[in-house]
Amino acid sequence: MAKILLHCPLNISRSLVQMIEEFSREFTEKHNIEVTVETQPHRPSEKSLFEACVEKNDMPDLTVGHVDDFADLPPGFLAEHFKSVPSRFPIRKELADKGWTDHSGYFHPFVVIPFAIFYNQNILKGNDIPQSWADLLDDRWTGKILMPDEFRIVSLVVKAFMNADFPDRLNAMKTNFVHQGSPMEVITAVDEGRYPIGITNIAFARISKQKNTRIIWPSDGLFCMPQVMVWGQKAPDPLFEIGDFLMSPKIQNYLSLQSFVPAAPDIPMHELVTDNQCNLRWNGWDAFLEALKGRRAAV
């Protein structure tokens, strides 16, 4: 028996689970290893399944999804409970050149999800349109930037990195950003003109019923969340085939269609990504995890 714990954004979670379970049926016939997939519920009242595994000292054979689950692990826990397999899953040059390879061999990104700033084009024009994350901290945006509820991953991550990158502007962030509703509700509010600016993951940001929104790709790069594969120490070696499947064209092309950045080499990126030179705001794994420490307790 092998256990997979999946914690990915809701808009791709169901499809990924379906494709993994379909692949796992063939995997089980081939290796005689049963595979179960547990999915983290997307409700704030639900306890983190990953945290429950840590408390029980019973880690999954494979963890798939948000790397923020690993930010608050105690010293030495990662090395004690997870496998280091450097270079097992090579990533595309555009990511490798910017430091996305985890040379310690624990975190293997299979996709990177940018968090997009978007605006209502009927409200903002020309020089009124912000061009960087720092611009969003200007006084003119007080109460005018809408984001999903504070417990949602985009809000947790953007808040954590704004805190880390602009520590002297925390008050501006608190007064300018409004947290309310689901990602689709944020899209609708900006599309209808109730807010001039919104922030969601890029797949949601591309969708608006009235077609009044446009995406801003800031000059200093989009904040983002890598989705990773991490193998438990006790995971049977054949389970690496699940990783090969997640890096396969079937999965990678599906993720690219969402305007996410596929990690596998030679997979075409969405034109929205290539048109903006895959400009992501990334300072390495250590900085990423450090910024996310205690992020849920801070909500």
Per-residue pLDDT tens digits for 38-75: 998 877 667 788 988 999 989 999 999 998 889 999 99
Instruction: Give yes or no on whether 2-112+225-292 and 114-216 have one common fold.
Output: yes
**CATH class label, 114-216:** alpha beta
Range name among 18-22, 178-182, 283-287, 293-297 with the lowest pLDDT average: 293-297
- pLDDT of 219 > 50? The answer is yes
Q: Which residue has the tokens 């305007």?
A: 259
Ranges of each domain in the chain: 2-112+225-292, 114-216
- pLDDT of 178 > 60? The answer is yes
Average pLDDT, rounded, for the chain: 92
280 is written with which tokens?
Answer: 């992501």
Q: 20-26: list long-range contacts, CB under 8 Å, 24+ apart.
A: 20/64, 20/242, 20/245, 20/246, 23/242, 23/245, 24/242
Q: Tell me the pLDDT band of 295, cut-offs 50, 70 and 90.
A: low
Half-sphere exposure of 52 (CA within 13 A, CB side): 7
Gyration radius of the chain over CA positions: 19
32 is written with which tokens?
Answer: 């005689």
Give the Cβ contact number of residue 171 at 10 Å: 9
* Spatial contact of 113 and 262, defined as CB atoms under 8 Å apart: no
In this prediction, residue 298 carries a pLDDT of: 39
**CATH class label, 2-112+225-292:** alpha beta
- pLDDT of 236 > 70? The answer is yes
